[in-house]
C-alpha cells in the first residue's frame, strides 16, 4: 500500500477540491483486458501542488483525462469541487471543464493565426461574461505573466516560453480553481522550463490555485509539494516533497 499522510486519508475532507474513489478504467484489446486505472483512490486539497509521475503505460495520463472530465472511468466515483461528475451529460461536462479547470499542455494548443489576447479570451466565450470583461480579464492575465506588449502577437511571433505563458494565462482567465498541466515543459529548454515552473509555484503560493502536474522528469516534479507515482494503473507511492 502507498504511504499517505493522515491529511489525505479517510472520507471527503472539507478542504478537498477533488477526490476519486476506487476508479477503474478498463479497455478490451482483442482478447486482452487492460486496466489503465486499477482502483485509484486519491484526495487533493485546495491549494495543493501535486505532481503525477510514472513510466509510459502507468495510468498517469488516463488519470489526468478522468480528473479533467475528458474521459469517463469504467467504474468508481469522481468528485470535483463537491460535484459528483459521474452521470453528467456531455454539455454538463463541458460546462464544468470550462468553469472549474484550466488546461496547460505540452504543445501549448494555441490557435496559430490568433493573437495572444484572443487565445486567452477563447475559453471565456462559453460563459456569460461581456466582451469588455473578457478583454479585461485576458489583458490582466497576460500582464500578470509578463507579456505586456505582446498581446497582439501571434504564436509564431513568440518564443516557446512566451507561448506557454499565454497558455497559462488562458488557463487562469476563467478563475478556475484547478489547473491541470500535462508535461508543460516538455517542449522547452532547461532554462525556460525552470522559469515556467517557478511561475507555476508562484501562482500556487500567491493565488492558492490548485495545480496537478503530469511529468516524467524528476527535477520538474520536485517543484511540487507532493508527488504521486503510478505503476500498472495503481498508485504505488504518495509522498510530500521535502524541500532543502
Domains and CATH numbers, the chain: 47-72+89-240 (3.40.50.300)
Looking at residue 207, what is its pLDDT?
Answer: 87
CA 177 – CA 179 distance, rounded (Å): 7
Looking at residue 3, what is its pLDDT?
Answer: 35
In sequence order, the 6+-apart residues with CB closer than 8 A to the CB of 149 are: none
Whose grid coordinates read 483486458? 33
What does the block give as the cell for 137? 480579464
Looking at residue 5, what is its pLDDT?
Answer: 36
CA 24 – CA 27 distance, rounded (Å): 10
What does the block give as the cell for 223? 517543484
CA 88 – CA 73 distance, rounded (Å): 13
CA 223 – CA 177 distance, rounded (Å): 19
Looking at residue 233, what is its pLDDT?
Answer: 96
Looking at residue 178, what is its pLDDT?
Answer: 96
Q: 49-53 and 226-231 as β-strands: parallel, antiparallel, unpaired? A: parallel
CA 145 – CA 240 distance, rounded (Å): 28
CA 109 – CA 114 distance, rounded (Å): 12
How far lies 11's CA from each of 41, 42, 214, 217, 240, in Å?
Answer: 10, 10, 25, 31, 20
Q: What is the pLDDT along the chain (244 residues), one digit of tens a residue?
A: 333 333 333 344 457 999 999 999 999 888 889 999 999 999 999 999 999 999 999 999 999 999 999 999 999 999 999 999 998 999 999 999 989 999 998 889 999 999 999 999 998 988 888 999 999 999 999 999 999 999 999 999 999 999 999 999 999 988 899 999 999 999 899 999 999 999 999 999 998 899 999 999 999 999 999 999 999 999 999 999 987 6
In sequence order, the 6+-apart residues with CB closer than 8 A to the CB of 30 are: none
In the DSSP assignment, the letter for residue 132 is: H
Amino acid at each position: 500500500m502507498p504511504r499517505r499522510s493522515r491529511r489525505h486519508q479517510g472520507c471527503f475532507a472539507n478542504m478537498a477540491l477533488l477526490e476519486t474513489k476506487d476508479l477503474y478504467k478498463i479497455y478490451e484489446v482483442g482478447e486482452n483486458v487492460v486496466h489503465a486505472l486499477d482502483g485509484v483512490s486519491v484526495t487533493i486539497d485546495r491549494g495543493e501542488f501535486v505532481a503525477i509521475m510514472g513510466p509510459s503505460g502507468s495510468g498517469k495520463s488516463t488519470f489526468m483525462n478522468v480528473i479533467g472530465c475528458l474521459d469517463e472511468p469504467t467504474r468508481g466515483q469522481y468528485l470535483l469541487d463537491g460535484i459528483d461528475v459521474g452521470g453528467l451529460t456531455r454539455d454538463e461536462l463541458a460546462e464544468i471543464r470550462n468553469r472549474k479547470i484550466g488546461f496547460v499542455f505540452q504543445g501549448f494548443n494555441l490557435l496559430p493565426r490568433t493573437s495572444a489576447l484572443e487565445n486567452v479570451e477563447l475559453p471565456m466565450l462559453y460563459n456569460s461574461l461581456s466582451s469588455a470583461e473578457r478583454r479585461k480579464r485576458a489583458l490582466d492575465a497576460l500582464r500578470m505573466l509578463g507579456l505586456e506588449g505582446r498581446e497582439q502577437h501571434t504564436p509564431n511571433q513568440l518564443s516557446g516560453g512566451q507561448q506557454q505563458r499565454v497558455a497559462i494565462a488562458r488557463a487562469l482567465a476563467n478563475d478556475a480553481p484547478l489547473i491541470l498541466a500535462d508535461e508543460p515543459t516538455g517542449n522547452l529548454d532547461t532554462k525556460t522550463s525552470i522559469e515556467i515552473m517557478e511561475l507555476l509555484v508562484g501562482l500556487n503560493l500567491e493565488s492558492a490555485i490548485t495545480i496537478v502536474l503530469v511529468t516524467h522528469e524528476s527535477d520538474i516534479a520536485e517543484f511540487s509539494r507532493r508527488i504521486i507515482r503510478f505503476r500498472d494503473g495503481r498508485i504505488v507511492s504518495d509522498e510530500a516533497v521535502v524541500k532543502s
